[in-house]
Amino acid sequence: MTRGRTAAWVVLLVATAVVSLAWLGVGLVVALARYVPGALESVQASAAAGSGWARGVAQAAPGSEPLDQAVLDYGCSLLNLVLAAVLLRTGGRSWSMRLLVVAMIGSAGAFNLQAHAAAVAVEIATGFSAGQLHQVVLHALACAAYVLALLVFPTATRPTAWQSRAGWQGPAGGLVVVAAAASLLVVGFGTAVLPHTISCILFFGFGVPVAGLVALPSRVRRGATAEQRTQARLLLCALAATFVTAVVLAVVTLVLAALGQPGLTLYDPTAHTDAAAGSPTALMFWFSRIASVAIAAAVLVAVTGGSRLWTAERVFSRGLAATLVAAVAGGLFAVVRAAMGDPAPAGALSVGLSALAAVPVALVALPLYLRVENLVDRLLYGDRPTPYSVLAGVAALSRTTGGDAPDLARVAEAVGRGLGATLCRLTVRRPGLRDRTYAWASDGGGGSDDLVTVAVRHGTDELGEIAVDRAAVAGLNAQRRHLLTDIADSLGVVLQASRSGIELERQLRAAVAHGEKIAVARRETVAEMDGERRRIERDLHDGAQHHLVTLGLTLGLVEHQVETGQFDEARERLDHLLTQIDVTEAVLAETSTGVSSALLAEQGLVAALTAALSGAEPPITIDDDGGVVTARRYPAEIGETAYFCCLEAVNNARKHAPGAPVTITVAEVGGSLRVRVRDTGPGFTPDPIPGIGIPTSAGRGMRNVSTRLAAVGGTIAIRSAPGEGTTVEGTIPLPAEPGGAAPEPSEGGSVNGVREKVAGENGAGSLRERMRDLLRSAEAAYRGTGDAAGIGAIAARLDERSGVTQVRAALVALEQVVATSPPDEEAAHRLRYELERLRSGAHELVELDLADVLRTGNVMLPAEMRSSAERLLGTAGSGVRVRLGLDEGDGPEEVRRAAAEELARWQRWASHPASTRSVRDVAHVVVRTCEHLLAEAGAGAEAGAGAS
């Protein structure tokens, strides 16, 4: 359908151009034959020789226009053709511009009075009467195209509403077609009946502007966009100025004719009366021809205005007001001056009468301009409230009561509705925070309109800004032009109140946060004081108590020696006792000041233990691993922990195994500091706490030791048996030295072997499918990039036989791609989320990671716990019975019982308060593994019962 309309337009354009240019060319030849000296004689000679065209030109030449009128006539036609070329070049696909091209070309020949001599020449030369063709093709089609162009203006780049394809076939499209057909018939018959000057005045001076004035006001109000509404207003200005000027000229012409002063006359060869007498319609005829060009030029400016469209609208609206005032004032002056008469046109009386006629014009000029300005403002922008009513509405909505903050959203709505805007945006500057914007849009209003923005100030401070669409504040009235500025000034107090409320709210939040910080600081202080109290208690118990116990034992020995008469030995023992009392006093002083032992910080662990335990009876042996440990200075927390643990273990040995030899061994093994205190006393049968290594009947001393070791990531183990003595062993991990290598996996299997044994086929299959889905998402995100091939290679390595190890390798490879070369931000965020979700949600991968960590020895666990965890994770095999340490012949009940026992044991380790962080982390993973094993054991028991 669109191609058909375009083809029809091309045919119409070509036909109109051929007829119009031919018509103008023949008429120009006739005028040249009439006014070029000697040309008419040459033409007549050719006619006498038998040339038909020469005879036609010779007979048509006497009916030519006067020379000055012919020059002006062809000047107007040339202006039409030039404008048509510009419209054709810049019009593009706009139907308004296309139709105006046809109208300009047709009117260039239709209303050129000299060109009508071509009808006589053509008829004499060829015998063909071209008058009917001229009326239909030029007059009727030109006027109909002009009317149709105004009816479809403005044409959007993307046609909407009635301009769409369907709209051409709907009711609105039907009205357009009817209007075009009516214009074609009326102009065709009118041109045949009336002289061409009268038809030009009626149809182009009045008919075309009236058609536009009827169609455009609705588009000014309801245009699809602000640009289209502005285009419609711009053309409406041109049409209104044309129509009013034509009316004034018509009134002046009639008044002058009635007063017997015809004014400017026009020679019309197409008139059915005596053409030589002339017609007093010169002003109206030439104005109609120029007005047709001016209206088309206004359409051109409206369509190609672009960013200058708003400036053109302002110029056109002011030009409309000025044109209307000039037309009415000029017409009034002409009528008054004609009514006075002019007996002596060149005398002083004529000048006096003209000055007298200008007096009433001057008196009505200012009131006339004010009324015209209001009229134009209502015509272009409609009836709108006064500035005072808008400000009153804003004040009513922004009024606050009861300490409430202003509702700025309602203020924006009040301004928008008061101004008749489609969009109003109020922005508030907030110190130290992001700006806050309150926007209101009317039904059908969009956010693409060009906005006028005015700053809102309070004193010298800029508090924000208010913006509305340009059409809401456009106009000729001075109050209308300054209305937005006045509104912005009145909103300064409102925004200041809102800003103060925001500031008070922020200060309140800051005060609340400061109070919370004070509360947290108080709690931390109380906790620190409580921790310091417990530390002093432990130091007194583990440090000073040792010396007090030694004093007690020495006093007992002195008492025995006195009772047995060993006075010399008792005297020596009392001297030694005085030395021990001095040492005890020094230890108490050091503990009260928070220093465990000055010797420990100065000379190291072995020297501090030697000094503290010297003079013990029986003597205590200290083994320093060949002097290696003696030369080391450990971090304060590690040295103090080992020091107090050894003292507490020695005190326990003296209490429970008095007189038994005690040996302290200090050594470094595998990156850890190990201290062992062994006595050869009677021993006992320990009942260790699962995962902790101390007996359930242990007193405060051993619990303090366990707590101290747990604080630095260490562990404790107590081994004893009746008649075999007791050994207390503590292990503390040492910080890695710079450049040190990670421990190698222990013998008995590689890490890769562990990976292959963890997780069953069911888990691997589900995990494999999830990894494939993730790789497909990654391929879609990286499509078209250099990393797409690498992701495809990762996906190709996963097949039906791939286990958990291959899945994890693919996961690690994809994580590296996303980290080093991420796609767009949204896709990268989604992939990272899916990767983390897969890694954290797949227990098989967690088991693999933990198995690797356990085999490398980076986690400090007792040997029994480590072997149990590795077995449950599947290092020895992936079967349920192998993991639980059962024989293949054990039945489902034995399997379920073993799984329940392992689960209970690891749950105790996970929840025990004395467990270290590493023990809890390992226990949580193994607990979940035990839950899976228990579920599989239950499923196997049910399957066995069903089979039986």
Q: Provide mean pLDDT across the span 856-869.
A: 76
Query: Is 681 within the bounds of a domain?
Result: no
The verdict on 162 and 32 lying in the same domain is yes
The verdict on 276 and 371 lying in the same domain is no
Confidence at 409, pLDDT banded by 50, 70, 90: confident
The verdict on 196 and 236 lying in the same domain is yes
DSSP string, 144-184: HHHHHHHHTPSPPSS--GGGSHHHHHSHHHHHHHHHHHHHH
**pLDDT at residue 163, rounded to an integer:** 43
Confidence at 381, pLDDT banded by 50, 70, 90: low
Query: Is 904 within the bounds of a domain?
Result: yes
Average pLDDT, the chain: 75
| Percent residues over pLDDT 70 in the chain | 76
Torsion angles phi and psi, residue 716, rounded to 5 = -130, 145
The verdict on 333 and 290 lying in the same domain is no
AA letter at 603: Q
Give per-residue pLDDT as tens, 613-644.
877 778 888 888 766 677 677 887 888 888 88
Instruction: Say if residues 182 and 120 touch (Cβ distance below 8 Å).
Output: no
Q: Is the pLDDT of residue 531 over 50?
A: yes
Say which CATH number the domain at 430 has: 3.30.450.40
Instruction: Say if residues 100 and 141 touch (Cβ distance below 8 Å).
Output: no
Query: Is 582 within the bounds of a domain?
Result: no
Alpha helices (H) along 474-566 = 478-481, 483-539, 545-563
- Choose between 760 and 457: higher pLDDT: 457
Instruction: Say if residues 200 and 268 touch (Cβ distance below 8 Å).
Output: no
Q: Is the pLDDT of residue 758 over 60?
A: no
The verdict on 840 and 863 lying in the same domain is no
Which of 298-307, 739-748, 761-770, 829-838 shows the lowest mean pLDDT across its residues?
A: 739-748
Query: Is 666 within the bounds of a domain?
Result: no
Residue (of 99, 281, 256, 247) closest to 180 by Cα position = 99
The verdict on 280 and 340 lying in the same domain is no
Instruction: Name residue 726's beta-bridge partners.
Output: 679, 720
Confidence at 446, pLDDT banded by 50, 70, 90: low
**pLDDT at residue 476, rounded to an integer:** 62
**pLDDT at residue 307, rounded to an integer:** 65
The verdict on 362 and 393 lying in the same domain is no
Confidence at 762, pLDDT banded by 50, 70, 90: very low
The verdict on 843 and 883 lying in the same domain is no
Q: Which two tokens stand for residue 600?
A: 């420990």
**pLDDT at residue 677, rounded to an integer:** 93
pTM here?
Answer: 0.48
What is the helix (H) or strand (E) element at residue 363, kind and residue range?
helix 348-381
Last residue of a domain, one of 435, 469, 503: 503
DSSP string, 693-751: -SBTT--HHHHHHHHHHHHTT-EEEEEE-TTS-EEEEEEEEPPPPTTPPPPPPPSSS-H
Query: Is 513 within the bounds of a domain?
Result: no
Say which DSSP state 458 is in. Answer: E
Last residue of a domain, one of 503, 518, 543: 503
- Positive or negative, the CA dihedral 237, 243, 244, 248 is positive
Confidence at 753, pLDDT banded by 50, 70, 90: very low
Say which DSSP state 279 is in. Answer: B
Residue (of 126, 143, 217, 228) closest to 185 by Cα position = 143
Query: Is 672 within the bounds of a domain?
Result: no
CA gap 875, 174 in Å, rounded: 86
**pLDDT at residue 828, rounded to an integer:** 80
Q: Provide mean pLDDT across the span 515-525.
A: 78
Say which DSSP state 695 is in. Answer: B
Which of 385-389, 406-410, 519-523, 719-723 shows the lowest mean pLDDT across its residues?
A: 385-389
Give the total number of structural domains in the chain.
5
**pLDDT at residue 229, rounded to an integer:** 77
27, exposed or middle or buried, with CB in 10 Å at 0-12, 13-18, 19+? buried
The verdict on 247 and 330 lying in the same domain is no
| Percent residues over pLDDT 90 in the chain | 2
Q: Provide mean pLDDT across the span 606-611.
A: 85
Tell me which residue range forms the domain holding 313. Answer: 308-382
CA gap 575, 558 in Å, rounded: 11
DSSP string, 621-632: EEE-GGGTTTT-
The verdict on 233 and 147 lying in the same domain is yes
Query: Is 20 within the bounds of a domain?
Result: yes
The verdict on 171 and 283 lying in the same domain is yes
- Choose between 346 and 842: higher pLDDT: 842
CA gap 418, 692 in Å, rounded: 78
Last residue of a domain, one of 304, 335, 367: 304
Q: Provide mean pLDDT across the span 793-821.
A: 79
Query: Is 737 within the bounds of a domain?
Result: no
CA gap 736, 614 in Å, rounded: 33
Q: Provide mean pLDDT across the span 394-412.
A: 63
Which of 165-169, 312-316, 431-435, 901-905 shows the lowest mean pLDDT across its residues?
A: 165-169
Residue (of 232, 150, 216) closest to 183 by Cα position = 150
The verdict on 358 and 487 lying in the same domain is no
Q: Is the pLDDT of residue 166 over 50?
A: no
